[in-house]
Amino acid sequence: MSDAVIWPLLKRDALLLFRRRSETLAPLWFALIVATAFPLALGPEAAKLTRIAGGVAWVIFLLASLLSLDALFRSDVEDGSLDVMLASRRSLTLIVACKMLLNWLGTALPLLLLTPVIAYAYDLDQGALPVLLLSLLLGTPIICTFGALAAALTAHLRRGGVLLSLIVLPLTLPVLIFGAGAVEAVITGGSARQPLLFLAAGAVVTVAFGPWLVAETLKTG
């Protein structure tokens, strides 16, 4: 990847992640606050929390991922970087893939690291934690891809906030169902094989076609 265009771009975006610490950490704080809100709203009985832990982790990620999307392409559209990228003879698909990867590293990875803490606080079964982590690992790329698509569709608008969630949430419902279902299946003594395989298939398809689709969407804008 010692590419004259891609490498500086990756470095720039990674630097931005580090420099704008408050923005980068926003999904994490958000996740912690929502994770605290559920027990407060539903009561502290351990049995109840154990049952909802998997679903809550998934809802938290889905909502937290929406936070970082608005900024994904907008700054590049507004300051003309996108035009420069289009004019450079690099494949926009590759550039977009890099941006999506960084977006995943910035939002999904911290939340993945936070998940064991949430699982412990909610008293989730020890056996269900690996399944929850695996489902998140497979499912988060799908959500990030649909998120990037929504960000590309709304990149030329001044504000994409509500529109983003309206686009992303219906498309990602299957991920939520399979992700939370995998954990549910383990807790109720079933097998999580089927939902995890579905998530894996979805991850393969979206990671393969996602960057290209998002790049084409940015071009039509």
Partner 1 sequence: MHPLLLWFHRTGSPPEFYRLSGLFLPWMYALAALSGLPALYLGLFRTPADYLQGDSFRIIYIHVPSAWMSMFIFAFMAFAGAMALIWHVKIAEVIARAAAPIGAMFTAVTLITGSLWGRPTWGTYWVWDARLTSELVLLFLYFGVIALQQAIEDPRKAARAAAILALVGLVNLPVIHYSVEWWNTLHQGQSIRLFASDKSTIDSSMLAPLILMAFATKFWFAASLLARARVLVLEQESGKDWVRQMIRNEQGLAS
What does the binding site for partner 1 look like in residue numbers (CB under 8 A)?
Answer: 146, 149, 153-154, 156-157, 163, 166-167, 169-171, 173-174, 177-178, 181, 184-185, 194-195, 198, 202, 213, 216-217, 220-221
Q: How far is the CB of 31 from partner 1 (least distance, A)?
A: 24
Q: CA 189, 194, 198, 203: dihedral to nearest 10 degrees?
A: 60
Residue 43 gets the label, from left (phi > 0), alpha (psi -120 to 50) or beta, of left
Q: Are 23 and 98 in contact (CB under 8 A)?
A: no
Tell me whether residue 81 or residue 165 sits nearer to partner 1 (CB atom).
165
Residues listed for the chain: 221
Tell me whether residue 24 or residue 50 sits nearer to partner 1 (CB atom).
50
Tell me whether residue 98 or residue 185 sits nearer to partner 1 (CB atom).
185
Q: How far is the CB of 161 from partner 1 (least distance, A)?
A: 11
Tell me whether residue 9 or residue 180 sits nearer to partner 1 (CB atom).
180
Alpha helices in 79-127 (DSSP H): 81-87, 92-121
Q: How far is the CB of 119 from partner 1 (least distance, A)?
A: 20
Tell me whether residue 106 or residue 179 sits nearer to partner 1 (CB atom).
179
Q: CA 181, 183, 189, 190: dihedral to nearest 10 degrees?
A: 40
Contacts of 95 (CB under 8 A, 6+ apart): 5, 6, 9, 85, 215
Q: How far is the CB of 163 from partner 1 (least distance, A)?
A: 5
Tell me whether residue 31 or residue 82 sits nearer to partner 1 (CB atom).
82
Q: How far is the CB of 134 from partner 1 (least distance, A)?
A: 18
H/E element holding 76?
Answer: helix 46-78
Q: How far is the CB of 40 from partner 1 (least distance, A)?
A: 25
Contacts of 218 (CB under 8 A, 6+ apart): 73, 82, 92, 96, 152, 155
Measured CA distances, 83 to 28, 76, 219 (Å): 32, 8, 9
